[in-house]
Amino acid sequence: MAAPTGVKMITMSQSVARKLVVLWILAVLAGVPARGAADGAALLEASGVTGGLVVHVGCGDGKLTASLRGGAAYLVQGLDRNPARLAEARTHIATVGLTGSVSVAQYDGKALPFVDNLVNLLVISDPDYAVPAGETVRALAP
C-alpha cells in the first residue's frame, strides 16, 4: 500500500523480524502542521496496523495523537518534552472525549517508556524527536 501524501514509511529490517512501520510526517519536517483526523486515519491505513498500542512522539497539541485512535482496538500514547504542549494535548483529548484511550506523557528524548516489543505503531512527527534506532527496534512488537 502506498503512503499517504507527505508521509515516508520505513519498514524495519527483516533480520530483526519487524513487520511494523515507523512513520515520519514529512509535512511537519517541512514546517506544515499536521491536519488532524484525516492524517491519523491515513497513517493507520498505510501502516496496516489494526489495533494495539500506537505511540506518537512529538505529539504537540494532541490533534494528530487523538486521530490515531482508529477504534476500540487501539490505545494511543502521545509523548512530548514540552509541558505546555502536553497540557494543550490533554485539553484536546478531553474535548473530543478520548481520555483514557488516548493519553500523553512527558518524554525524556532518550528512551521510550515502554517494555520491549510492546508498541505496534510508532509515529514521529517532530524532527527534534529523533528516536535512536536501537530504541525503536526494542520497543516495536514483532
The DSSP secondary-structure symbol of 114 reads S
Contact 34, 6 (CB under 8 A): no
User: In whole angstroms, what is the distance from residue 78 CA to residue 95 CA?
Assistant: 16
User: In whole angstroms, what is the distance from residue 17 CA to residue 49 CA?
Assistant: 16
- Global model pTM greater than 0.85: no
Query: pLDDT by residue (tens digit) across 114-140?
Result: 999 999 999 888 777 888 888 888 999
Query: pLDDT by residue (tens digit) across 59-97?
Result: 999 999 999 999 999 999 999 999 999 999 999 999 999
- Kindly state the cell numbers that stand for 88: 494543550
